[in-house]
Structure 1
Amino acid sequence: MPRILIVDDDPGQRSLLNSFLQSQGFETVLADSGERALEALRTGRFDMMISDVRMPGMSGLDTLRAARKEHATLPVLLVTAFTDVRDAVAAMRDGAVNYLAKPIDLEELLASVQQATGVSQSVPLKYADDKQLPEYVIARSPLMQAVFREASLIAPSDTRVLITGESGVGKEVVADVIHAWSTRAKGPLVKVNCAAIPETLLESELFGHEKGAFTGAHAQRIGRFEEASEGTIFLDEIAEMSPQLQAKLLRVTQNGTFQRVGSNRELRTGARILTATNRNLEELVKAGKFREDLFYRLNVVELNIPPLRERREDILPLASHFIAELAKGRARFSEAVTECLQRYPWPGNVRELRNAMERAVLLSRSELILPEHLPSRVRELAGQAPAPANGDARQLEEIERQAILQALRQHNYNRTETAKALGISRRALIYKLQRFRKMGFEIDPV
């Protein structure tokens, strides 16, 4: 069994790498600094070292160089949140076998580790096979099944997760599942919507306040981070947080400490942090509206939830689930309604679908849901988007394949950059590539 030394000052990152690599059959040893990593190398045998680049004291590059003096053939993989081309060039020059940027792609990480340790790369990614989705979670599409498979890998660790996706796709549901599958499941899951609470009150909501800290503070209040100390805190709409609060949250991610409003006493929380946003945080960082250091602290792992239009296999099961819940199982869809639901693009995603089903139940006077019970926009837009005839389907597939192939070539077959250029999620791109291969299309570089 290959033995891997993991070096990172961030407990969440160490936890992720540790739990993931152990789940894939590797033995791991942890070090929270370059100095301790060198001590471990002097006393133990390792087949590989994985190190963060930016650490206090000895950096990852310094650790790499020092390790090379005593262990010239040790494969070293460097990981960083700060994509610096000069660091990457220096790392490869000094002998690193690869250089990965955060958020970490687990498939890419596994491939690098397998290659460096001599493990056959034909060994597939292993997922937890004992994880069952709650009954209220519908995931029939390959895209959502992939989301929850990845969630099963990261749930056991304490790493921070950024959940992204359009409004209404179900980011909170994914947070629920991560907590339920984690070692903290018996602890509380505390949820805070950063956009729903006025900026002047959000600090008190998160960190608490002392009596008399401000007008109306008639008693001491415990904040949400204290409540979640043995569990998980989910911060929704994190992009709406003010710069002042971003600085305070950064401190929590660094050492788990904070202060109540009106107090200088330092408190500590052990809460795992999950965050979500429907905005592009990278663009907000570039615009100076979101702290770069906080972005990288929160975005150790990113789970992107695809929009409903990209996972159409989920539409009817979700609609049926909502109808059964709202009508207590006494309603069913007409064929025309089924067609409308499948053709409509659902820009509001799962939330819009649920609202449409609630409206249909209220308007229907029988057990049969008819088109007139649906919102007019659903009927109108669905009517403008007829399903392609069988003879046209292959032609449409070929047009899509050519567009994807062209984008792949333009971005040197980098799937992440290609997905961004096409305006779809990386997971959606991978699913499309797999589907094209099964259909017999050529999609890989020659």
Structure 2
Amino acid sequence: MTKRVLLVEDDSSIAIVITAALEAEGYDVDRCDSVAGRDRFLSRADYHILLTDVMLTDGDGIETLNRVREAQPHLPIIILSAQNTLDTAVRASDTGAFEYFPKPFDLEELVRTVTQAIGSAEAASIDAPQDVPQGLPLVGRSAAMQAVYRMITRVLRNDLTVLILGESGTGKELVAEAIHQLGNRRAGPFIAVNTAAIPAELIESELFGHEKGAFTGAVARTMGKFEQASGGTLFLDEIGDMPMQAQTRLLRALQSGRIRRVGGREEITLDCRIVAATNRDLLPMIAAGTFREDLYYRLAVVPIELPPLRERADDIEALSRHFLANAVSEGLPRRQLTPAAASLLSRQPWRGNVRELRNFIYRLALLARDEMVDVAAVEPLLAQADGAQPMRMDDTPSRNPADLSDAVEHWLAVHEPMQGQVYDMALAAFERPLFLNVLGQTSGNQLRAAQILGINRNTLRKRLSDLGISAEDYTSKD
């Protein structure tokens, strides 16, 4: 029997191409361009699958799918959309759609997916969650981010362990938060722990808790992160830096589904989803014997790889405008980018990824003199960030102090003062050239540089990491 397809698409050129491809495979295709047309076709005939765009001539193709689900709960649905955001991907997933295709898409893959959907024994609907949080934290419509969104939607209705991979500053914790906020465990707590920041001798107590008297200083029973995350999600960041002994205990906990507090005898059943993340390449570490292979496969049930910002340059302008809007909500002056300024930002390498871009945009919001920010305002800050104009110890800052004074005066005149805000933003604007200069003068000796700056060596290391400064930035290139 010929399989019948209903295609709802308001772009006639796309509709023609899809129809031709499906008919070439032997499908019988009916086509319309509106919600009303879709409902008429569905009321008159039975179809094996529905392909629908989101933005139609008379309404939202997703919002009106409830009527289709009520009438035909097992009809497979494929959603097509040019509104390529995480919100759209999640909404598509919430309808129980068999698949979501952001435009532009691979036509051959679409045809294969139609065949798979029709051949599926059951394409049952998934109840849409209630109270889905608004203002999702991920921004970007590039093809690379579409792949991330699609992976996120695949893990929302289960508790599979997820391993998020990506360079520092790409937004791994934001992905973990999105999985939690949009998933089955959103009513529970989201507990994040940076495993690299916990001393090796304390990491087991931090994760599993301890009993009173288990060690010196254990004056009371304390719940670990696993217990604190009960009913919700435990996010283990920088998992690649976890000591080997702690890896062994973590593996045992994941395998058994139970933990035991340090110094305790009672076994506690785990009730949390595990999401881990790392900026390290774990496979060479496995080969070197510094990361357990069995733990890797236990964590990487569903790997999600976040692209560096240089591989999603199309998203830089949207991210910049997003951060400018956030800066206003945090008390900074309202700024807008000219097209030329936005284009200039999109051509930068952003070695520190989204984190570096965010910090730069906040500095720009504070230090730019006009609401409309043009190339002339962006270039000096970019040069400063790149270390093109390093500041000598006897130099004044490259920005005119009077200009900075004007910016601060404007901010204070327009906004209620927020303690520490001006200081933090101004400090961020001048830290990088200062650190580069001092490290250059000390030939990269961080201990000596920390002594000159009057800060702890570990503090210096952390700030260098936050600012995306590597040894290549301050060592001689002669």
TM-score (norm 2): 0.52
Matches within 5 A, 1:69-148: 120-121=115-116, 134-148=135-149
Equivalents in 2 of 1:337, 1:163: separation in Å? Answer: 32
The answer to whether the Cα contact below 8 Å between 2:136 and 2:178 also exists between their aligned partners in 1 is no
**3-state DSSP class of the match of 1:375?**
helix
Q: 2:164 & 2:179 partners in 1: Cα distance? A: 11
C-alpha displacement of 1:258: 1.3
Structure 2: distance between partners of 1:339 and 1:377 = 19
Q: Distance in 1 between matches of 2:141 and 2:134?
A: 11
Show the 5 A alignment for 1:201-216.
201-216=202-217
TM superposition shift of 1:352: 0.5
Q: Give the secondary-structure state (helix, strand or coil) at the position aligned to 1:163.
A: strand
Aligned to 2:382: 375
Of 346, 350, 358, the match for 2:350: 346
Instruction: Kindly provide the amino acid, as one letter, of the partner of residue 283 in structure 2.
Output: E
**2:239, 2:278 within 8 Å by CA — same for their partners in 1?**
yes
Mapped partners of 2:344, 2:274: distance in 1: 39
Equivalence for 2:325: 324
Asked if 1:361 is matched to 2:358, the reply is no
Residue deviations 1:102-137 (CA, integer Å, cap 9, x gap): xxxxx9xxx9xx99xx99358699998968873432
Which residue matches 1:420?
none
Q: Is the 8 A contact 2:240 2:291 kept in 1?
A: yes
Determine helix, strand or coil for the equivalent of 1:222.
coil
Q: What amino acid maps onto 1:375 in structure 2?
A: L
Tell me the SS of whatever aligns to 1:234: strand
Q: Which amino acid aligns with 2:225?
A: R
**CA displacement at 1:154 relative to structure 2:** 1.4
Following superposition of structure 1 onto structure 2, how do residues 20-99 of structure 1 map, counting pairs within 5 Å? none
Bigger shift: residues 309-318 or 323-332: 323-332
SS in 2 for 1:302: strand
- Counterparts of 1:390-409 in structure 2, within 5 Å, are none
Q: Secondary structure at the match of 2:197?
A: coil
Match of 1:193 in 2: 194
Show the counterpart of 1:150. 151
Identify the structure with bigger relative contact order (alpha carbons < 8 Å, sequence gap 6+): 1
Contact 1:128–1:153 under 8 Å retained in 2:
no
Matched, 1:168 2:169: yes
1:48-96 CA-to-partner distances (Å, cap 9, x unmatched) read xxxxxxxxxxxxxxxxxxxxxxxxxxxxxxxxxxxxxxxxxxxxxxxxx
SS of 2:196's partner is coil
Deviations 1:177-220 (A, max 9, x none): 11122111111111101112222222111111111222221211
Question: Residues 340 and 378 of structure 1 are in contact (CA less than 8 Å); yes or no, is this contact kept in structure 2?
Answer: no
Deviations 1:272-293 (A, max 9, x none): 1000001111111111001111
SS in 2 for 1:337: helix
Aligned equivalents of 2:114, 2:339: Cα separation in 1: 52
Taking the aligned partners of 1:250 and 1:349, their CA distance within structure 2 comes to: 31
Match of 2:433 in 1: none
SS in 2 for 1:267: strand
Q: Trace 1:389-428 onto structure 2 (pairs within 5 A).
A: none
1:363–1:373 CA contact under 8 A, matched in 2: no
Structure 1's 192 and 151: CA in aligned 2 closer, same or farther, altered over 3 A? same
| Distance in 2 of aligned mates of 1:339 and 1:167 | 24
Give 3-state SS (helix, strand or coil) of 2:264's partner: coil
Whether the 8 Å contact between 1:188 and 1:231 is mirrored in structure 2 is yes
Corresponding position of 1:426? none
Partners of 1:122 and 1:325 in 2: CA distance:
41
The residue type paired with residue 306 of structure 1 is P
CA distance in 1, matches of 2:118, 2:387: 49
Cα–Cα, structure 1 residues 206 and 121, in superposed 2: closer, same or farther, change >3 Å?
same
Q: Which residue of 2 aligns with 1:239?
A: 240
SS in 2 for 1:146: helix
Q: Indicate whether 1:289 and 2:284 are aligned.
A: no
Going from structure 1 to structure 2, the CA distance change for 1:223 and 1:322 (only over 3 Å counts) comes to same
Distance 2:245 2:136 in 1: 40
In 2, Cα distance between the equivalents of 1:350 and 1:225?
29
- The residue identity in structure 2 corresponding to 1:247 is T
- CA separation in 2, counterparts of 1:178 and 1:365? 39
CA contact (8 A) 2:313 2:347 kept: no
Cα shift readout 1:23-63 (whole Å, capped 9, x = no counterpart): xxxxxxxxxxxxxxxxxxxxxxxxxxxxxxxxxxxxxxxxx
Residue segments in structure 2 that go unaligned for 5+ positions in a row: 1-100, 102-107, 389-478
Question: In the alignment, does 2:272 pair up with 1:277?
Answer: no
1:232-288 CA deviation, whole Å, 9 max, x = no partner?
100000011111111110011111111111223222211110000011111111110
Taking the aligned partners of 1:258 and 1:380, their CA distance within structure 2 comes to 49
Q: How has the CA–CA distance of structure 1 residues 123 and 351 changed in structure 2, closer, same or farther, with 3 Å as cutoff?
A: farther
CA 1:353–1:190 in 2, change beyond 3 Å: closer, same or farther?
same
For residues 129 and 350 of structure 1, the distance between their equivalents in structure 2, rounded to whole angstroms, comes to 34
For 2:170 and 2:190, locate their aligned partners in 1 and report how far apart those are by CA, in whole Å.
Answer: 20
Query: SS in structure 2 opposite 1:316?
Result: helix
Between the aligned partners of 1:247 and 1:195, the Cα distance in structure 2 is 16
TM-score (normalizing by structure 1)? 0.55
Give 1:374 deviation, angstroms: 2.4
Structure 2 CA distance for partners of 1:143 and 1:128, relative to 1, 3 Å? farther
Gaps of 5+ in 1: 1-106, 382-446
Q: Cα gap change, 1:240/1:372 in structure 2, threshold over 3 Å: closer, same or farther?
A: same
Please point out which of 322, 331, 337 is paired with 1:333.
337
- Which AA in structure 1 matches 2:143? P
Percent identical: 47
Counterpart of 1:276 in 2: which secondary structure?
A: strand
Given the superposition, is the C-alpha separation of residues 132 and 259 from structure 1 closer, same or farther in structure 2, using an over 3 Å criterion? closer
Q: Over alpha carbons, which structure has the higher Rg?
A: 2
Superposed CA RMSD: 3.2
Contact kept in structure 1, 2:233 and 2:275, CA below 8 Å: yes
Partners of 1:133 and 1:177 within 8 A in 2? no
| Equivalent residue letter for 1:301 | V
Residue 336 of structure 1, CA deviation: 4.2
Cα displacement (A) at 1:173: 0.8
